[in-house]
A and B are shown apart, each in its own frame.
Chain A
Amino acid sequence: MPHPNTNTSTSRRQFLKTTGGTALFIGTSGLLPTLISCSDKDRITKTLAQHELTAWVRLAEDGSLTIFNPAAEMGQGSMTSLPLLFAEEMDADWNQVQVAFSPQVTEIYGSPGWAPGTKLMFTVGSRTTNSYYNVMRNAGAQARYVLMYSAAQHWQVPLDELETEPHRVLHRPSGKALSFGELASLLQMPETLPEFGPDQLKDPTEFRWVGKEIARTEIPAKVDGSARFACDIRLPEMIYGVLERGNLHGSRPTLRNESDILAMKGVLKIVPFEYAIGVVAETLEAALTAKNRLEISWSEAPATGFNSQEIFSSYANRARSGEAGETVHESGDVSAALASAVKVYSGEFRNDYVYHAQMEPLNAVARISEDGQKAEVWVGSQQGPDSKLGVPGLLGIPPENVDIHLQYLGGGFGRRSMNDFVTECVLLAKEMAPRPVKLLWTREDDVRYGAYRPLSLQHLKAGVDGKGRVTALYHCVVGDGGNLVASGSRNDHYDIPNQCAEWRETSHGVRLKHWRSVGHGPNKYAIECLLDEVAAGEGMDPVALRRNLMARSPRALATLNRAAEMAGWDTPAPEGRARGVAFVEHGSLGTGICEISVNRSSGDIRVHRFWCALDAGVAVHPDNIRAQMEGGLIMGMSSVLKERITIVDGHVQQSNYSDYPLLRMNEAPESIEVDILPSSDHPEGVGETATPMVACAIANAFFRLTGKRLRHLPFTPERVREALAS
């Protein structure tokens, strides 16, 4: 919250700046230490002037700590894993820790490693634990340093004679000890605050909390109904906004019955957008009723005439044509290696559009001051390149006049890294200022105006030498969206000397976005299935073939061996079932094995069991990693067996769970077993490693069961029956 009197606020604080660029602040009472790492002194002064308590941690006299989480919490566990790292280095007692979202101030709370020298608050790409690992540990170590410095001053002993145990500072020579709570009233601030590099932080073998079974901090609120999502926000004088966006992306609306709508009970205003008609009303019911009555003529759009299910033949022609695509990566000489190969295997793989289907439809609440100079937004966002989510630019006001109140996300999966819904809400609130506006997307809005994982086609060729070794892999992706279709086409853990992937661009005017695992889903499916075909053609066991390919990547190999062991790969599957294997690299490394059966008359595939072995580096919060793998696998099964968006003449054909079904509880497997391999390497993301395993593991199992190949995602019963009849 902006402080009412910024000058007073600044002068009441002590401000210290060090060469290392770290500043430390003390609250007025001296009881609340706050630490800020930032290189720009003016920036810090300003930030502090606007936020009464901006920092990583607050300490109270009863010893309770509040640690700030800088990342979005969308179910992936950041509300626990990041503060845990901080508490570990601070040597805090985890039982005395509370967690709150940090303010959205990138300079202080961003993580590095995006572009050189930049920081972002952006919860995407399974980067959170990976990119905050050292940030949180350094900040925790600095908090510990302040406590030790204060104790040293109080006892008048050298700081290097002090040590800590959970929540206490000790001076062994004199036998003195002070708890963190007791130190709260004795805090003194050092002249300089060191930066702690990885070498000065705890060795993973010394961890007390990290890597242990820790209960997630926000779960109690998620079982009693009190966890707050943005759609749960209610403010005095709040009104409701909805938009009708149609189902032809990019089409422009003309409203034909404006006066009728304005005459409806409760309707306050019609707000036209380029691509939609907005209605604001006193109640949600009134807004939704008005939305249903809108009579709109829609213009043609770039997508007009596009039929998603007919496009694949042209994609296949593009893949086979000699056109030069954009090289995604290249090593060795694939053309020469294919030319000299003893045998070349090739395959074509297709995938339809898929939709995020996060359980909480998009929504936000915004309030803009009467003079238009201040804005508050309550939102579940994966944040963005700009931690104020573009709101300052929309309103022409400075970033410090915008407060983003981050709420829990009812699922993200990439959809909430696109803040189109925030923009809409702010534009409505601007019209209605100073009344706060709650914007709600209905499920139909969320489906029809979604931003999908693109459809694409993969054309692959693998060259094999006389000894059954894969010497070349060529991978051509045809589709819309650049990295959205190209990611995951590269293989860093298979020792294939000649590799090349290229992308051939298409464009259909359909909205696209990152969808959990992005291009890894379709691309790993294609790669792993082709390798399976090589194994079959060469008379090799699929696991044995991969073992050879992983000879130079012991960590990948360990996941393969462990998964094979868990699944009993060398023993026959139960009657009527078969197993399939797939390896995925997405930050962390994982091998998955599934066991399936097929109902040959209905075409239904049933996944009975799934085993998965993972190397994620340091496992910061193991139970959460298991949860991410379980959830990622279930989402994978759902998308692989059921989900697709189809487009006819540019119009999205689906609108709700009735025609976009998800996997349900009665279709979930009998068991999912996850094993996390021990490692002390830097942690890697785990949110997107499981999902891409599913398509290839199922398709490979299907081949072992039926001798047929599944080449088009999703594997709907109809496609399964076709494959069986082929």
Chain B
Amino acid sequence: MAQFELLINGTRHQVEADPGASLLWILREDLGLTGTKYGCGIAQCGTCTIHVDGNPMRACALRVENVSGGQQITTIEGLSEGGNHPLQEAWIAAQVPQCGYCQPGQIMQAAALLRQNPTADRETIRNYMSGVLCRCGTYMRILEAIERAGKAMTESKTA
């Protein structure tokens, strides 16, 4: 066991872990940040998507020692104050989730996209989002919500 310092959602956390330990289990089981989900463990489903320095990453594929050098880790719990990120609002407006299990990963992936490119077109969105699976089949509404949020974000900037 070794001691690691993780900077998550703006808070420093000291964790004890073996080098090589997956960030996903540390988030979920040690720190109780359970909004980040486990779906495959091999970077295939995207349900564990978080941000590291603003980039979307699969927490299941991150080793603790590689993200404890001061990188800013953001999980769904830290995406916004009170769940009011434009994407979260758009997700509610479009009534996206069904079972909901994949949705934190979807929203985190979409948030990274809109930060880089709030006016992304459909084809770009489809490709950017294709790493996050949804078994309930909410893709059409995800698409709608991302377009809606992108619009809201560009409008609020120009306003």
Contact = CB atoms under 8 A, between A and B. Distances in A.
Interface string A352-365: 00000111110000
Interface string B128-148: 011111111111111100000
A407 to B, nearest CB: 11
B98 A443 contact: no
Given A223-B92, A225-B76, A285-B22, A627 B141 contact: yes
User: Most chain-A CB neighbours within 10 Å: which of B29, B32, B36?
Assistant: B29
Contact of B143 (A411, A627, A665): A665
A666 B136 CA distance: 16
A411 B92 contact: no
Nearest to B16: A283
A408 B99 contact: yes
Given A76-B98, A220-B83, A358-B135, A630 B38 contact: no
A34 interface: no
A638 B133 CA distance: 11
Contacts of A357: 135
B99 A358 contact: yes
B127 A666 contact: yes
Contact of B42 (A220, A221, A224, A656): A656
A25 to B, nearest CB: 34
A219 B95 contact: yes
A657 interface: yes
Contact of A668 (B36, B75, B140): B140
Given A75-B97, A223-B97, A410-B101, A359 B83 contact: no
Contacts of A666: 126-127, 129-130
A14 interface: no
B99 A360 contact: yes
A478 B127 CA distance: 41
B26 to A, nearest CB: 9
Interface stretch (A196-204, A228-236, A334-342): A228-236
Contacts of B139: 634, 663, 665, 668
A283 B29 CA distance: 8
Given A359-B102, A409-B99, A442 B41 contact: yes
A359 B141 contact: no
A277 B25 CA distance: 22
A395 interface: no
At the interface, is chain B mostly helix, strand, loop or mixed? Answer: loop
B39 interface: yes
Nearest to B89: A223
Contacts of A234: 29, 32, 34
B126 A658 contact: no
B128 to A, nearest CB: 8
A664 B133 contact: yes
Interface string A385-425: 00000000000000000000000111111000000000000
Given A357-B135, A411-B135, A664-B130, A222 B44 contact: no
A442 B40 CA distance: 7
A219 B92 contact: yes
A359 B88 contact: no
B137 A635 contact: yes
Contacts of B38: 231, 361, 440
Given A228-B34, A285-B21, A662-B135, A359 B129 contact: no
A212 interface: no
B35 A361 contact: no
A657 B133 contact: yes
Contacts of B17: 285
Contacts of A410: 37, 99-101
A106 to B, nearest CB: 24
Given A224-B76, A283-B29, A216 B95 contact: yes
Interface string B87-111: 0100110011111111110010000
A93 interface: no
B68 interface: no
Contacts of B101: 229, 358-360, 410-411
Interface in A215-274: 215-216, 218-229, 231-232, 234, 240
Contact of B138 (A284, A412, A627): A627
A284 B24 CA distance: 11
Contacts of B53: none
A112 B38 CA distance: 36
A297 interface: no
Interface string A161-179: 0000000000000000000
A658 B44 contact: yes
B97 A668 contact: no
B45 interface: yes
User: Most chain-B CB neighbours within 10 Å: which of A409, A662, A669?
Assistant: A662
B6 to A, nearest CB: 16
Size bracket, chain B contacts: 35 or more
B83 A630 contact: no
A74 interface: yes
Contacts of B95: 215-216, 219, 623-624, 627
B65 interface: no
B5 interface: no
Contact of A226 (B35, B125, B132, B134): B35
Given A223-B88, A657-B45, A662-B133, A359 B99 contact: yes
B149 to A, nearest CB: 11
B126 A668 contact: yes
Contacts of A409: 99
Nearest to A634: B137
Contacts of A219: 91-92, 95-97, 100
Contacts of B134: 359, 634, 665
Contacts of B131: 664
B137 A630 contact: yes
A220 B33 CA distance: 17
Contacts of A669: 140
User: Most chain-B CB neighbours within 10 Å: which of A76, A413, A664, A672?
Assistant: A664
B126 A665 contact: yes
User: Most chain-A CB neighbours within 10 Å: which of B29, B98, B102?
Assistant: B98
Contacts of B136: 75, 359, 411, 631, 635
A219 B138 CA distance: 13
A671 interface: yes
25 contacts: A74-B99, A222-B97, A222-B100, A223-B103, A223-B107, A225-B104, A227-B100, A285-B21, A285-B25, A358-B135, A359-B133, A360-B101, A410-B100, A411-B99, A411-B135, A627-B98, A631-B138, A633-B137, A638-B137, A662-B133, A664-B130, A664-B131, A665-B132, A665-B142, A666-B127
Q: Enumerate the 5 nearest inter-chain pairs by beta-carbon distance, A residue then B residue, closest first.
A: A225-B35, A634-B137, A410-B101, A75-B98, A222-B100
Interface of A: 74-77, 215-216, 218-229, 231-232, 234, 240, 283-285, 357-361, 408-413, 440, 442-443, 623-624, 627, 630-635, 638, 656-658, 662-669, 671-672
Interface of B: 17-18, 21-22, 25, 28-29, 32-42, 44-45, 47, 75-77, 80, 82-83, 88, 91-92, 95-104, 107, 125-127, 129-143
Given A219-B97, A443-B41, A665-B126, 18 more contacts: A74-B99, A75-B98, A216-B95, A223-B92, A223-B96, A231-B38, A232-B28, A284-B29, A359-B133, A359-B136, A443-B42, A631-B137, A633-B137, A634-B137, A658-B44, A663-B137, A664-B133, A665-B129
